Amino acid sequence: MFAETKFKHALYPRLIHPSHEIESLFDFTVTASEIQIGSCCPLSTIQHKCGELKTRETGLQRTALPIHDMLRWFASTQIRNVACLGGNLVTASPISDMNPMLAAMGAKLILSSWDKSEATISRRATPVSEFFLKYRIVDIKPSEFVERIEVPLLQSTLEYVKPFKQARRREDDISIVTSGMRIRLAVKDGKYIIEDVGIAFGGMAPTTIMATNTMASLIGSELRAENFKKATAVLLDELKLPEAVPGGQAAFRMTLASSFLYKFYLSVLEELAIDCEMEAGELPPAPSVDEQEKTGAYNFLNASKPSYCGTQYYPAPKVLSGLEDDVLPIVDSMAKKEVKNDSVGQPSKHMSGPLHVTGEALYTDDIPLPPQTLQAALLLSKECGRVLESVDVSPALDIPGVTAVYTHEDLVKLGGKNEMGPIFKDELLFLPIGHKVTTVGQCLGVCVAESLEAAEHATRAVIVKYKGDEEKVIVSIDDAIAANSFYELSRHKIVRGDATLLDGLESAGAASATPKVGDIVTVSGGFKSGAQEHFYLETNSTLAVPSESCTNLTIYCSTQAATKTQTFCASTTNTPAMKVGTSRFRTSLHIFHLRLTSLCYVTIGCGSHKANGRWIRRQRNAQRVCFVRGCIGCQNLKQACSFDALS
């Protein structure tokens, strides 16, 4: 619900909270053929109930144990206490942990609705494997809701289920690839034949997907490593991901899927060997596997979860001398500690350290706000490569609590400058009408309201129109070179040595034979570094405080560039710099791009204050993340070097 309302801006005029008195929605029931789980039953309850079933008969134990193991690593304890299985299914996340396993186990959803004509509850069943239609779209009608989930019980022997999950960390992390696999065997002519199999994956498609071709290649075949290797080839072809797949890591995800399949084969052999021992000769011996490969069956999902607590023991202080003095010296509990006044060689604590660890550090948001303080939210472009045609702010002004919407026209009325930048003034505070939008998220204006919610609502109500065909946007160095787009004023060259020497060696090197030790040769070509992804979470809050006569301005913000903040705010608001002051409570670590972005936010808040004459606070939410990609490309690299040895 938080993600839907916060990021997708969904509006729900009516929310329904089911009562615990509706037992079918919260019950966890075990019947002779299935486990029935109410759609609103908390995940923590399901986990504990399945944990209690581990000591029951074999079929029930084998059904409940995979559910318990997967839920043990599902999100955090706090999330599992309030989240429910029905909500997890209807959310239809393509990388859900539970959905692939339930689909592989053949689970069904019971969808209920009120039949007005019959004045009764109408129910229909749909398999989990067929419930996910498209990305985040499921097979449920507007009048229906998920009443319960029915998970069929496994056979007591020769049927096995295993969950798999790979994430960047075990605890509280979203999966890269997740899977659920089920297999049912039958004995024919002393061999184990795969009678039925269910293989489902998450993270390999826009929805939870069943590997139908892989399943078909296994059904009817003998339980052998060769057949699973053939199925792996089918799986890689069936779940082939393009390089530009959303989420990236295409080759890694395909490798994970194939490795999960082989780990499943090894785990089946492990459990089959246990069944053969328990049946005491009634089953043929399980296929053998090399000792070195048995470790491949290890899966952290069903391994013992490590403890989060520990104890450290300290020896009692010695008061008598003994042989162990070198290891445990005598401690005189009554001796006074020597106080050193010399700070040389002593650790020095950070000035703000005690405030941070005690929670007493003050930030911009800790400043008490007087009544009638306004909140500001940015109006950002949703397209790029086209020309800004018009900005209609009238729908936003009709929203209760919205005071004003400021654009480039209002900045012109103030007499302020729209251009800004630390070196070259090539950044615009507000994009003027008729200019081309260069980036998604380019600032078009700012909405000011009595509350932050009203200000953000106003930004979504503004009607922005663009014109012209969408031009190709330059997003890489290769694109810039192809378009001959360079910053001529800041072009730099790195030159070392005599460049004419390289030109003279180029023709000679091409005609010469294999170079010898000590020869000077020309190495030319191009190289490109792999892209680096930096997840940078940078919160920022700005408070613009006017003086009583609205002639002076004090800015509270968390910036390293205090002087630039003063300069830009003064030029944008057409205010003498001597009347603009900046104050910093806490300084955040900015990279250059984010420093400029923060200055833009501060300047916008100051411009809003100048036009309104009231306190303005502008917040950059913690959920807004700057995703910076670094890619270095070098073309036609020439380098002269001397070979001291040849390999």
pLDDT (mean) for 409-436:
88
Q: State residue 168's pLDDT score.
A: 87
Assess if residue 509 is contained within a domain: no
| Residue 262 and residue 119 in one domain | yes
Joined together, the tokens standing for residue 434 give: 């008729």
Q: What pLDDT shows up at residue 645?
A: 30
pLDDT tens figures, 498-554: 767 666 655 544 555 677 777 767 677 776 665 555 555 566 778 888 877 778 888
Q: At what angle do helices 43-52 and 58-72 cross, to 10 degrees?
A: 140
pLDDT digits 0-9 by tens, 477-487: 888 888 888 87
**CB contact at 8 A, 107 and 131:** no
What's the CA gap between 164 and 178, in Å, rounded? 6
- 481, part of any domain: no
Q: Is residue 479 part of a domain?
A: no
Q: Are residues 409 and 277 in the same domain?
A: no
Q: Which of 206-210, 493-497, 549-553 has the highest mean pLDDT?
A: 206-210
pLDDT of residue 633: 30
What tens digit of pLDDT does each residue of 280-327 get? 778 998 888 888 888 887 777 767 766 667 777 766 665 566 666 666
pLDDT of residue 502: 64
Q: 357-382 burial, b for 16+ CB within 10 Å, e for fewer?
A: eeeeeeebeebeeeeeebbbbbbebe
Contact between 433 and 391 (Cβ < 8 Å): yes
Q: What is the pLDDT of residue 131?
A: 96
Same domain, 279 and 154: yes
Closest C-alpha among 633, 628, 564, 642 to residue 596: 564
For 153-182, letters b (16+ CB in 10 Å) and e give bbeebbbbbbbbbbbeeeeeeebbbbbbbb
For residue 313, tell me if it sits in a domain.
no
Is residue 618 pLDDT above 60, yes or no? no
Sign of torsion over alpha carbons 251, 252, 257, 258: positive
Predicted pLDDT of residue 328:
59
525 located within any domain: no
For residues 390-397, give the mean pLDDT. Answer: 95
181, 266 Cβ separation under 8 angstroms: no
* pTM for the model: 0.65
Residue 355, pLDDT score = 86
pLDDT of residue 39 exceeding 60: yes
pLDDT at 137: 93
Claim to verify: residue 245 and residue 131 sit in the same structural domain = yes
Residue 334 lies in a domain: no
Last residue of a domain, one of 275, 301, 327: 301
Q: Do 172 and 86 fall into the same domain?
A: yes
What pLDDT does 647 receive?
Answer: 27
Task: Give the domain extent around 414.
Answer: 374-471+535-630
Residue 196 has pLDDT above 80, yes or no: yes
Instruction: Report the CATH number at residue 122.
Output: 3.30.390.50
DSSP state of 490: G
Distances (CA, A) of 316 to 328, 333, 373, 478: 10, 11, 60, 68
pLDDT score of 613 more than 60: no
* pLDDT for position 19: 84
Based on the structure, what is the number of domains in the chain?
2
User: What rounded mean pLDDT belongs to the chain?
Assistant: 81
Instruction: Give the three-state DSSP class for 623.
Output: coil
Which CATH number fits the domain that encloses residue 607? Answer: 3.90.1170.50
Domain shared by 296 and 379, yes or no: no
Q: If you average pLDDT over residues 119-125, what whole number do you get? A: 92
pLDDT tens sequence across 349-363: 888 888 888 888 888
What's the pLDDT score for residue 38?
A: 96
164 domain residue, yes or no = yes
Place of tokens 């205090």: 562
